C-alpha cells in the first residue's frame, strides 16, 4: 500500500509543478546538458528506491 501513496504523490507533484519545471527546462540560456541531469536524477532516485525495498515485497 505504501507504493500507491508514493505514486499518487509523484503524479500530484508533477501535475502541480509541471509548468515551472517546463519553463526551467526549456530556458534558452540554460546548459545543453540540463535535461540529461534531470533524467539522471530521476533514474538514480528510482534505482535507490528499488534497492530500499525488501526482497519479500515482490
Please give the chain's pLDDT, 58 residues, in tens. Answer: 556 777 777 788 888 878 887 787 778 887 888 778 878 887 887 788 777 766 665 5
Domain ranges of the chain: 1-55
Which residues contact residue 24 at a Cβ distance below 8 angstroms, ignoring those fewer than 6 apart? 30
Give the per-residue pLDDT at 57: 57
> How much is the pLDDT for 58?
56
**DSSP letter for each residue of the chain:** -HHHHHHHHHHHHHHHHHHHHHHHHT-TTS-TTHHHHHHHHHHHHHHHHHHHS-GGG-
Amino acid at each position: 500500500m505504501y507504493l500507491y501513496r508514493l505514486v499518487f504523490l509523484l503524479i500530484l507533484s508533477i501535475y502541480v509543478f509541471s509548468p515551472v519545471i517546463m519553463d526551467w527546462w526549456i530556458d534558452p540560456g540554460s546548459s545543453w546538458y540540463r535535461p540529461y541531469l534531470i533524467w539522471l536524477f530521476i533514474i538514480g532516485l528510482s534505482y535507490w528506491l528499488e534497492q530500499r525495498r525488501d526482497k519479500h515485497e515482490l
